[in-house]
Structure 1
Amino acid sequence: MSHTAHIPSHRKPRQSASKTALRAGVAGGVLSTIAVAGAAGPAQAEPVTQTIEMPTITAGLSPAVAASAEATQQVALDLETQANEDAAAETAAKKAKKAKAEAVRKAEAEKKAEAAAKARAEAAEEAAERASRTAERTTLSASSGSSASSSAPSSYSSSSATGSAASIVAFAKAQVGDAYVPGGTGPNSWDCSGLVQAAYASVGIDLPRVSQSQSTFGTQVSLDSLQPGDILYWGSAGSAYHVAIYVGGGQFVGAQNSSTGTVQRSLDYDMPTGAVRVL
């Protein structure tokens, strides 16, 4: 017995020629079918023409979204309008404040200028008044050949005022400190003749209104024999430019000018030209 008799062989058994031919024929038929199908496939394919529409999920929200957008736009417009109005109001307020400040500044400047001009005018008025009185006294002295009218009297009456004279003196003194105003007749501002007229009216005596007429109303008296209540005048009798009331003790009360107002002064301050006695 051979040692290799039962060892199986590893070689594949030979196939028969008929099986091989059969398998070759089947494979060839399959390949032919695939080739025929591939050639015919592209020509027979039809394009897809149907369109699938997806549902619009926001279609129902369009009116609400539009309304919301419109409301938002309106709010934005309102805010912009309000901002513009606020800015305009602020600008107008600043301009008004600036204009007011400028007006106040101009008013103060005008007030100061007016006060300065008034002070200069009053100073000039007083200087002119003094110069006029001095010139008048000089003229009167030259025409009379005597200086008695322009010199202080040697003595003043020391008698006390009584009766109506006392009332006139008291009235005149009560007005000291009042303002001088041309044409003033009281009760808190006077001109010279207005004060004298009011003082005499307080005791029921009606004097003329102007100094020229007052300087001749009554009896002319010497400056050396004055009595309280006498009317002093500056200038000549009948054309006097200033009057006052003698109150005794060498003093007079008169509404002098815009600078001094109504004052009580010594006769030496501004010596009068003459005097008249009414009482």
Structure 2
Amino acid sequence: MSHTAHIPSHRKPRQRASKSALRAGVAGGVLSTIAVAGAAGPAQAEPVTQTIEMPTITSGFSTAVAASAQATQQVALDLETQADEDAAAEKAAKTAKKAHAEAVRKAEAKKKAEAAAKVRAEAEAKERAERASRTSERTTLSASSGSSDSGSSASAPSSSSSNVSGSAASIVAFAKAQVGDAYVPGGTGPNSWDCSGLTQAAYRTAGIDLPRVSQSQSTFGTQVSLDNLQPGDILYWGSAGSAYHVAIYIGGGEFVGAQNSNTGTVQRSLDYDRPTGAVRVL
């Protein structure tokens, strides 16, 4: 017997090592297989759900939206500004048109005023000349009146009263001399009259005092027909005692009267304004 046979670890440890290695290898393979099977098994049995997170874009999006809003607001402001400018331009055009029309109107009014002033100046010059002429006639009438009182005759200044003499001639001549004078309510001369003021002044040249107003003059004297008139008769409009207008018949189918503020004192045909009646004072 070998002297090493009694040493337990001389050969047996090699067998154990080999078996241990084998066992380890088998065990390792089995465990590997199980591990692989375990890893593969659940993948087939249960699906994997994955959640994908998108990148955050809030900051950039907000900036873009803000920029778009600002641009929209700017466009709105531009449109509003343009609308205001258009409205202002339209208003300015209307104002200019109105100003032009007003300037044209004022120019026309000024032109008319100048023309009216020229006409008025000419009329005043003519009236002054006529007044000077009437003053001369009145001086002559005063002398004629004195002559008529002594029995002499005074010839009429126009063909319509050429056959009138005495007091009637004085009344007619005075009335005709006032033609062109103004009509003024309550006027009693010397250059403006109302209707009864004129007849009263005319009769005064013949030494006759008539009542002041038309109503009283229409009954002062004898009522005569309009077909039988004589120069110097008083014509009246309205009824006797309530007449609203009077004038003096001068012959030839005509009368002189202070008519109204538009016409003044005029000489007219009876057909111009037919009177209602007449009275004879002389």
TM-score tier by shorter-chain length is: 0.3 to 0.5
Provide TM-score, normalisation by structure 2.
Answer: 0.43
Provide TM-score, normalisation by structure 1.
Answer: 0.44
- Give the structure, 1 or 2, with the largest relative contact order (CA under 8 Å, sep 6 or more): 1
